[in-house]
Chain A
Amino acid sequence: MAKTPATRRKSEPAKPNRERPNEPERYKADKDELLELYKRMLLIRRFEEKAGQLYGLGLIGGFCHLYIGQEAVAVGLQSALDHEKDSVITGYRDHGHMLAYGIDPKLIMAELTGREAGISKGKGGSMHMFSTEHKFYGGHGIVGAQVALGTGLAFAHKYNEDGGITLAYFGDGAANQGQVYESFNMAELWKLPIVYVIENNQYAMGTSVNRSSAEDQLYRRGESFRIPGIQVDGMDVLAARGAAEEALAWVRAGKGPIILEMKTYRYRGHSMSDPAKYRSREEVQSVREKSDPIEHAKRELEAAGVTEDELKTLEKEIRKIVNESADFAETTPEPDPSELYTDVLVESY
């Protein structure tokens, strides 16, 4: 069933006929490291809750896809990257990936409210946010487009010999798009430095993986291109980090692409306008209770000696950051009408 986090499957076939990555180990974080990961996850959770609130108030419009429940994936994986060299690209559920990268929540929230100070000057909105400064390349609204684009970013890393790799996220829904496999083929053919991350949150909008995927073990989707895959518990931030270490070692060694299937779950609907009638309230509740990534990390922190007071203080800090970003996003001005005509082209002709 989809409700519980993945049971670890062996990634090796019965008789390996070529080199395979090792089964990743859960990352051994010290207290401070875990605290940092926890903080990032909590920031995403509280930020997204606030975004949902602002949407309800009509301050955020259009499509808005929340990352609640999936926080361990972006935080765990991106904590392993070399932020000077590596690049990240994702689809439309992108707020979490940006926050995991330490991009200012104010700029993100102001983009959600369509303000001049937003990271895309208010012209992109929830699904189209970028930070070239952080080598975060979006934020793409067409399901699966980021897979080919990410493969292109990896091509650029290899072409420039800059030592960087690309982390390209896509969902279980995008995993059925044709261009994903066109990209897999070229990435392996040309040994491009890319980690394909399938965030399997079990539902492509309202259609479950089982109802849409002939091979529902998505980590195997690269096999016919000789791309190895690893299935990972995406509700455990340290498992995610451990898998990232293994995947990065593989890719950085020049062995070509690798797939990480992160088994995760979104608590909210596909977007704000999705009533999520395709699954039961009990199913959602059960995941929340049994495998919430933030609660999981919190228990580990407590076991490591972090006091309840410390955690409460932290919670307050995070809420303060989020509230400030919301206040900013509500009050900062909308784009000047003249902005309508800027940024269409770079040059003048």
Chain B
Amino acid sequence: MAVEIKMPALSPTMEEGTLAKWLVKEGDTVSSGDIMAEIETDKATMEFEAVDEGTIAKIMVEAGTDNVKVGTVIALIAEEGEDAASVEAPKAEEKPEAAAEEPAPKDAAGKPEPKETGTAQLADVKPQARDPEVPEGTEMVKVTVREALRDAMAEEMRADPRVFVMGEEVAEYQGAYKVTQGLLEEFGAKRVIDTPITEYGFAGVGTGAAMGGLKPIVEFMTFNFAMQAIDHIINSAAKTNYMSGGQMRCPIVFRGPNGAASRVAAQHSQNYGPWYASVPGLIVIAPYDAADAKGLLKAAIRSEDPVVFLENELMYGRSFEIPKIDDFVLPIGKARIVRPGSDVTIVSYSIGVGVALEAAETLAGEGIEAEVIDLRTLRPLDKATVLESLKKTNRMVVVEEGWPVCSIASEISTIAMEEGFDDLDAPVLRVTNVDVPLPYAANLEKIAIVDATRVVEAVKKVTYTA
């Protein structure tokens, strides 16, 4: 029985990749550790090693094929004693389709399928209403969130020599998640700085540099690691302007991925939005799509205040339409209605916006028109947009990829109660992750993470249509 070599997942979030190059050909013998192919993920080109010994019987996916789904059979290896020439290709339905729309092929032999994780469903891109900040008729281009963030930094670095980027693997490695790709080449080692693994230290160095008049962008590989540095973010960066009576500014951006990634378990899956949003003196931004990522990161870099800019790893590879405008900057502190509706308001931010939009689609099919608000900035919070929508729909659900206790959802609920009580026809409901550390097991992760089904249920409760 020939061994099937399948397209490997080379990162927790990889779903497909490009088979860039075969380094073996049919008839070659391989043993474990031999490099068989080069595979490009959205982040990097990786070498793919053989694990099994034998002869390459068939290459099933040509070099240069894009969008090969993880799990697709890419080659067959004849084991010892097996005649390579007689190895047959798998049956037609198992044949890899390079541009196949369906996910990893079902395995006829009944082998376990790849686990469906709780995070996979989060990052589906759904249509949104046009941002009123973008003039009508503006030409739109498709850009990933990752590219949008990189472009924002590059544009601001071109415009202001005080802006520099520092963090782990931001320069020579091109960014752990490839967000800083190409910046070293354009701006040089003086302005794109690899740090040692020393979050507390480099957060302090960045903050001190901002106090000294520079405009640092400090990248955390993920915000989970920024807990080591939270003292400088809060005690040094956020408070100094106040404590100095307005003398000492700290224009710095702390940015990096935040929230649950895929199957990385409790220590690497946490949403810090509510933590930072509780601190006066900070600006906290958590964009959903590529246009907001770009327009708001540019605004963050220009701000004279310290900004915590929360990205999401699962969104980095997602493409969105983004206006083709020179110097596209968005206002900080303004929410955006990403889907207008009249029956219920669903408030969310970051990756939760996709869940809210998905729920809104389902609800529309049942005759319930949901208005979806993307907060975009968590501090200062755009209360006016939220309350205005509540006035119209009289019902509200808050969707948050994060814990429920002391959350942004809690805050929105309080605002609705304190300032919109007379507009409420039902209690505000929170739809969040389950109140536990995020588990590793795929099935448990899926249960723990917020999903559209629960949003739909909550909307039906508040609209009394359940």
Contacts and interface: CB of A to CB of B under 8 A. Distances in A.
Q: Does chain A bind chain B?
A: yes
Nearest to A187: B205
Given A132-B247, A149-B236, A152-B204, A159 B196 contact: no
B208 A156 contact: yes
Interface string A105-123: 0000000000000111111
B434 interface: no
Contact of B304 (A120, A152, A153, A346): A346
B205 A152 contact: yes
A159 B209 contact: yes
A101 interface: no
A145 B204 contact: yes
A111 to B, nearest CB: 9
B249 A346 contact: yes
Interface size range of chain A in the complex: 35 or more
A325 interface: no
A78 B249 CA distance: 24
A27 B208 CA distance: 31
Given A138-B248, A156-B213, A349 B241 contact: no
B235 A151 contact: no
Contacts of A87: 212
Contacts of A138: 240, 244, 248
Interface stretch (A4-12, A68-76, A176-184, A265-273): A176-184
B341 interface: no
Contacts of A148: 200-201, 203-205, 207-208, 232
A131 B241 CA distance: 12
A89 B209 CA distance: 12
Contact of A185 (B201, B248, B251): B201
A275 B209 CA distance: 38
B274 interface: no
Chain B contact-residue range equals 35 or more
Most chain B CB inside 10 Å of its own CB: which residue of A122, A153, A189? A153
Interface stretch (A195-203, A211-219, A310-318, A337-345): A337-345
Interface in A141-155: 141-142, 145, 147-155
A120 B213 CA distance: 19
Nearest to A130: B244
B281 A155 contact: no
A24 interface: no
A123 B209 contact: no
B201 A186 contact: yes
A182 B200 contact: yes
Nearest to B234: A142
A152 to B, nearest CB: 2
B244 A349 contact: no
Contacts of A128: 240, 243-244
B241 A345 contact: yes
A220 to B, nearest CB: 20
B247 A145 contact: no
B367 interface: no
Contacts of B64: none
A156 to B, nearest CB: 3
Contacts of A349: 283, 331-333, 377, 380
B251 to A, nearest CB: 8
Given A118-B245, A149-B232, A343-B244, 4 more contacts: A137-B211, A145-B235, A153-B212, A182-B202
A155 B202 CA distance: 11
